[in-house]
Amino acid sequence: MGMFAVLCFLWTGYYVWTLYDAHRKQVAEWNEGAKVAFEEALWMEVNKRAKFPIYYSSSRKGGTTVLNESLPDTIFITSPLGRRGYHIEQICYERSLIKESDQRAVLGALLYKYPLCLDTLSKHWDANLANREIPAKSQIRYVYTDWDLQKDTVYSVYESRLDSLTVSYLGFRCEHELVAFVSYPYWLFSLDNCYRVLLSWVVLILLAVFYTPLEVIFRRNFVKEKIIEKKVHVADVTIDKAKIYHLPDNSLFDSFAGTITKGDLVHTLPPQSSLLLKLFVRKENLYLSTAEIDKGLWNGNGTIDNIHKVIQRLRTELRKVSSELVIKNVNGGYELK
């Protein structure tokens, strides 16, 4: 039972780790798909304004240019509040949905005139996630900065445990910041596999409940008890001494000759080891206390160190004959098994 419980714990730990590792890899794939789905939803909102006419003027004049334009640290825009300079962080350029400067400027003006609908954007994103079979809870944080640099923050829903997925910026001044959040429930991924762990524990519980009755039935029908008999010469019966003993591993111990015979192997024991083995086999339970060993070998004048040495010597001799014959420490004494 104990070994089976250990195996169940090890199997459960291994399987849970396997599920966690597979889920981690799946989440990485889902995140990439969710980013693409979010960008597609943004483009759907932007494209709704693609045909709306908008008038804007630019102070840019002709002159030399290069293929890769340098990104300015500050831009100047003339708005209803007059001409003002706005500091733009590098991340806003890098994460801008539209990279080209004129198009960003037009998009900023369009979003000022036709504001972004967060609920619609959220529905588009959820629909894209469903089409990609990504089981994510989604949330969008929309931060709008007006011409006077006042910020207004709106959430599509409020979920405190969602993880930030990606951020995008819209407009030339990048005054529209949209942060996407997602989370994935673990049980959706592992539900189909949990039955294997549950089955292991169900078997363990059933085995614990029915172990005793099953053991009784098994022993009654399949196990034949071995009766260990002492073989005694007729001549020795009169002096109450058995010469040949049948040991638990089916080997034979001749106490007079001091030999153990198993098959074709005949091993002679040292006198003291032979006497100690005789003391063991003459006890019905094959158990000797330290006091009995001391009395049988040294008439009560031995020491604990003497007992330990003679036991160790007999163990060594028994191993030369059979690995099945062992002497174990039991309740302050020793037992031959």
Q: Which whole-number Å values give the CA distances from 300 to 105, 219, 293, 307, 333, in the listed order?
A: 108, 43, 8, 11, 15
Per-residue pLDDT band for 15 (boundaries 50, 70, 90) equals: confident
Q: Rounded to an integer, what is the distance from CA 88 to the centroid of its chain?
A: 46
Contact 143, 70 (CB under 8 A): no
Contact 193, 19 (CB under 8 A): yes
CB-facing half-sphere around the CA of 99: CA atoms within 13 A: 6
Task: Considering only the C-alpha atoms of the chain, give the largest distance between any 2 of them, rounded to a whole number of Å.
Answer: 133
Task: State the CB neighbour count (10 A cutoff) for residue 132.
Answer: 14
- The alpha carbon of residue 59 and the mean position of all alpha carbons in its chain are separated, in whole angstroms, by 62
- The pLDDT of residue 77 is 65
How many Å apart are CA 81 and CA 156, to the nearest integer?
A: 30
pTM check: above 0.85: no
Give the HSE-up count for residue 151: Cα atoms under 13 Å, Cβ half-sphere.
9
Instruction: Give the chain's length.
Output: 337
List Cα–Cα distances, 183 to 34, 187, 193, in angstroms.
11, 12, 21
Closest CA to 122 of 182, 170, 172, 176: 182
| Lowest-pLDDT choice from 90-94, 252-256, 276-280, 282-286 | 90-94
Dihedral sign of CA atoms 231, 233, 239, 244 in order? negative
Strands 244-246 and 230-231, bridge-based pairing: antiparallel
Mean pLDDT of 10-38: 83
Give pLDDT tens digits for 262-305.
Answer: 888 888 889 888 898 888 888 878 888 888 888 888 888 888 88
| Helix (H), strand (E) counts: the chain | 10, 14
Rounded-to-integer distance, Cα 15 and Cα 279, Å: 53
State the span(s) of the chain assigned CATH 1.10.10.10: 230-336
CATH topology of domain 230-336: Arc Repressor Mutant, subunit A (1.10.10)
Q: Are 140 and 122 in contact (CB under 8 A)?
A: yes
